[in-house]
Amino acid sequence: MNKRIKTLIIVILTLFTISLLKAINIEDIILKKIYTVKYQDYVYKYSEEYNVDPCLTLAIIRVESNFDEDSISQSGAKGLMQLMDSTADELALDLDIADNYDIFNAETNIVLGTTYMSTLLNYYNNNMYLALSAYNAGIGNVNKWIQNGTIKKDGSDIENIPFQETRNYVRKVTRDFRIYTRLYG
């Protein structure tokens, strides 16, 4: 077999392999291994109930705890959606579950976290960037940043968020939200 025919066969096999990989969408298969979906019954139930995109809830959980329901942050935030005790206590009162709730219980943490995200989205007129900023840094900080002109009221300039942790948080959750939407939305 001459060199030209061998090259042609290699090109044809390469093109065939690329076409086959595109047909089975290997990229999505790999991404689904990285961007897992756990606790989906609770995520979808409470996201629907509190009008939060389930892909956003998944992205928050992935960034906050990587689906570790026993996670505790350095600042003391707990569970899948990394809630501070004071926030969780306030939400539990509103949901009438304050008497006996476990912040590390997956369902409880998801209902509390999803309720909180819903509240923030409503407060910021469904502006995901501002709501995520407040989820991480608190409403008081976000309102102060808007009031003093550090960030715009429409959230279009999240790069100006003065807390690096919050800026990175918003970037990560937004990225993961887009990926979850592509894979599962």
What is the CATH classification number for the domain harbouring 61? 1.10.530.10
27-58 confidence digits (pLDDT tens)? 788 888 899 999 999 999 999 999 999 999 99
Whether residue 43 sits in one domain with residue 29: no
Round the average pLDDT of the chain to a whole number and report it: 92
Crossing angle of the two packed helices 106-123 and 85-94, in degrees rounded to 10: 90
Mean pLDDT of 110-128: 98
Q: What is the pLDDT of residue 30?
A: 84
Whether residue 95 sits in one domain with residue 56: yes
Instruction: Flag whether pLDDT at 21 surpasses 60.
Output: no
Instruction: Flag whether pLDDT at 179 surpasses 90.
Output: yes
Considering its fold, how many domains does the chain have in total?
2
Q: What is the pTM of this model?
A: 0.86
Residue 14, domain extent? 1-34
Q: What is the pLDDT of residue 67?
A: 97
Whether residue 54 sits in one domain with residue 3: no
Name which of 109, 146, 110 is nearest 125 in CA terms: 146
Instruction: Flag whether pLDDT at 23 surpasses 70.
Output: no
| Residues belonging to the active site | 64
Whether residue 148 sits in one domain with residue 69: yes
Instruction: Flag whether pLDDT at 20 surpasses 60.
Output: no
Whether residue 30 sits in one domain with residue 54: no
**Integer distance in angstroms from the first to the last C-alpha of the chain?**
50
Q: Which residues of 43-62 are buried (b: 16+ CB within 10 A; e: fewer)?
A: bbbbbeebebbbbbbbbbbb
Distance of CA 155 to CAs 21, 103, 130, 147, Å?
39, 30, 6, 12
Q: For residues 165 and 162, give the distance between their C-alpha atoms in angstroms, rounded to a whole number.
A: 9
Whether residue 137 sits in one domain with residue 119: yes
Q: What is the pLDDT of residue 185?
A: 86
DSSP 18-32: HHHHHHHTHHHHHHH
Whether residue 85 sits in one domain with residue 15: no
Amino acid at 80: L
Whether residue 70 sits in one domain with residue 135: yes
Q: What is the pLDDT of residue 100?
A: 87
Mean pLDDT of 86-103: 93
Whether residue 3 sits in one domain with residue 91: no
Q: Are 58 and 125 in contact (CB under 8 A)?
A: no
10-19 confidence digits (pLDDT tens)? 777 776 666 6
Q: What is the pLDDT of residue 75?
A: 93
Whether residue 2 sits in one domain with residue 61: no
Whether residue 71 sits in one domain with residue 20: no
Instruction: Flag whether pLDDT at 73 surpasses 70.
Output: yes
DSSP 25-64: THHHHHHHHHS---SHHHHHHHHHHTT--HHHHHHHHHHH
Whether residue 72 sits in one domain with residue 137: yes
